[in-house]
Structures are given as C-alpha cells and as structure tokens.
Amino acid sequence: MFWPDTISKKLGIQYPVIQAPMFGVSTVQMVAAAAKADCLGSLALADLSADQSVELIRETKKLTDKPFAANIFVHHIPEVTDDLKEKYIKTKQFIEKLARKNNIEVELPELETISIKTYHEQVDAIIEENCKILSFTFGNLDDQSIRKLKGNGVILIGTCTSVNEALELEKSGIDIICVQGIEAGGHRGSFDAENIPQIGGLSLLSQVYDHVNVPLIYAGGIYGGKTLKAVKDLGAQGFQVGNLLLASRESALQPFEKQRLKKVREEEIVLTKSFSGRYARGIKNQFVETVENSEYILPYPYQNKLTNVLRKAAKSLQNPEFVSIWLGQSIHPYSELSTEEILKNLIKECER
C-alpha cells in the first residue's frame, strides 16, 4: 500500500494529504473541495476574532460533513512601548507616501485603532463548535489550552521549523507535528519571528524523524508524486500541499495574481518581512524591494495590520507591485482546476 495510514486513521480521512491553511488564499470552498477528495481540508482562522472564527466554521460545516482542521496563529504579541509608537508613526507615513507616489491613495490605520487578539477566545470557540482537529503555527499553545482542548477530544497539530521546536511540541503533548521546510510558501512557522532556522526541508524532516516519536506531516516543496514519495521515504506520514493549490478554482487569488504566479522566475521567489514583520516566502516586487532591509518594518503583527489596507487597495487596482503573493520554491504550472481534481490527480500520480 502506498499511503501510510497512521495519520489517516487518527484524523478520519482516506488519504493523509492535507490542504495547507493559507490565510487570504484558502477559502471555505477550498476546505470542502479537499474533503471531497477524501483529504484533510484546513480552515485558516489566523488571528480572527471568536465570532469571525465561528462564522467560518459554520459556513464550512454547511459545505461538508467530513473532518477538517481549524488553523490558528499562536504568536507572541509585542508590548506597545513608546519606541514602537514612534516607529509606527514613521512607518505609516513612509508607506502612505510610497503608495501615493505609485498612484495608490490609502489612509493607513492609527496604532490605537488596531485590534490585536490572543488566540484564547478562538480556542473556546473551536471547542464550542465541536471542531475535533486544531492545527496551529508561530509557536506552541499554553499548557492550559492544551489540557482544555485534549479534554474535549481535540487532536492537536503543531508546526515546527527546527528539531528543538519539534521536541518542545512533543514534550507538551501535541499529537501530530507538521515539519515545515524553508522552501515552503508563505510565513515561516518558527516560534521566534526574528531568528528563523535556515534548514532545508529534507534535512529537517529526517532529523525530526530521528528525534521524536509522534507522527509527522511534511510541508514544503511537494508538487507531484516524486516529491511526495521522497518525503514519505524520509519518514513523513502526512503530506501538506499549498503551493499546488494557489491558482485552483477555489483560491481567493484574483486572476491578475494567478497570471503573475504563472510567469514567476526562480530568482523572484524570496523570503521577506516587508509586508508582515515575519519572514514569509513570496514574489519579490516593488514594495518588497523598497521596504526590505529598511527601518520601516514593525514587529509582527503590527506591520501586517498596517499594510493590510495597502494590499487591499492594490488588489482592487490589480497592481501586483503592492500585494503579497506568497508561494514556495517549487515552480510548477499552477493549475486552475478545482482543488478536488488537483488533489485527486496528485493521489493518482503517487499510486501509479
């Protein structure tokens, strides 16, 4: 049998293939389509409020009665100091001026108006909505939340980008670990936003496999049967794909963004903190080139909240130079078929 069944049995799915939670790209329709392919859909809840999280969970349940994972951010929230306030004002002014120079009229939010939430109210909402699988990234859940979730029968999937992070997740009782290679698209799942491990996915996976005893999902660079088989041979029992689904029918990316993806060149795919204040892998554009390595990057999530309005405005103008298009290092044709068809084709290719 080609497919390892440890994770499939644990999660109640046929194939241990996981649609990556890509906030801003994945949709409730993508989650349902992944479920139709007998894989695990992931509902990206990021740092939304409890009410917004409940709304999306209920919307997803209307589209599928199969298991899916809710996915949240568990990042550290930096304290608002006088230095941060001063830097925020300077960064806001710089980005507004840059936008105007490029014919984008935006009024970015004042620091006082930004709402920053911890994940704890989401944990309660996930339990109340009877979600039985929770994945998370950017750190580890606190002990009380872990006890509460496990006490309610929730399976926990943590994300690691180093052996030490994997050991910490295992020690705290996390059921499954998602090993994220540096080649993966979007944000690094690292516990420390500033010092991200630089280790490649295959090296990391084999080392984590040697150090922990919980089942492993691998994420980063899977785009076909050969890449999936390679990580299976290194010990992965689950396979998370995101890059493969970026241009799918259910993706939230607009046509101009999908077209940009299809023209991407290897040297244009970079790690950047410019849009969010955390390292994320995506397409280099004018905003990245101007802001990266400048003094105008706030700690996450403040940079992310600040640039959100700019990204929305650029999207409405179909301007690819001021939107964040996240993708991994594995360039492929970026199919516009449905998520269900893309995943079924991947499964067939593996089984051949």
pLDDT in tens, 292-313: 999 999 999 999 999 999 999 9
Q: Please compute the mean of the pLDDT values over residues 203-232 and round it to a whole number.
A: 97
Query: Among all chains, which residue has been given the structure tokens 């809710």?
Result: 70
Same domain, 183 and 283: no
- Is pLDDT at 1 greater than 90 in this prediction? no
Same domain, 224 and 309: no
Tell me how long the chain is. 352
- Report the domain count for the chain: 2
Same domain, 85 and 131: no
Same domain, 111 and 121: no
HSE, CB side, 13 Å, CA atoms: give it for residue 10: 21
Mean pLDDT of the chain: 97
Same domain, 107 and 221: no
CB contact set of 134 (below 8 Å; sequence gap of 6+): 69, 70, 71, 72, 123, 126, 149, 154, 155, 156, 157
> Torsions phi, psi of 69, nearest 5?
-100, 135
Radius of gyration of the chain (CA): 19
Same domain, 210 and 67: yes
Q: Exposure of 247 by Cβ count < 10 A (0-12 exposed, 13-18 middle, 19+ buried)?
A: buried
pLDDT per position as a tens digit, 26-82: 999 999 999 999 999 999 999 999 999 999 999 999 999 999 999 999 999 999 999
**260 part of a folded domain:** no
What is the DSSP pairing of strand 17-19 with strand 238-241?
A: parallel
Which amino acid is present at 8?
S
- Is pLDDT at 23 greater than 90 in this prediction? yes
- The DSSP call for residue 286 is H
Q: What is the percent of the chain with per-residue pLDDT over 90, rounded to a whole number?
A: 98
Q: Please compute the mean of the pLDDT values over residues 208-215 and round it to a whole number.
A: 98
> Which contacts qualify for 157-162: CB closer than 8 Å, 24 or more apart?
157/69, 157/133, 157/217, 159/135, 159/189, 159/219, 160/189, 160/208, 161/188, 161/189, 161/190, 161/196, 161/197, 161/199, 161/204, 162/190, 162/197, 162/199, 162/204
Which amino acid is present at 252?
A
- What is the domain extent for residue 236? 1-77+116-247+335-352
Same domain, 22 and 33: yes
**160 part of a folded domain:** yes
Same domain, 179 and 219: yes
For residue 211, the model assigns a pLDDT of 98
Same domain, 207 and 156: yes
- Is pLDDT at 158 greater than 90 in this prediction? yes
For residue 88, the model assigns a pLDDT of 98
Please state the pTM of the whole predicted model. 0.97
Same domain, 33 and 149: yes
Same domain, 144 and 58: yes
Is residue 347 within 8 Å of 17, Cβ to Cβ?
Answer: yes
Same domain, 193 and 316: no
**72 part of a folded domain:** yes
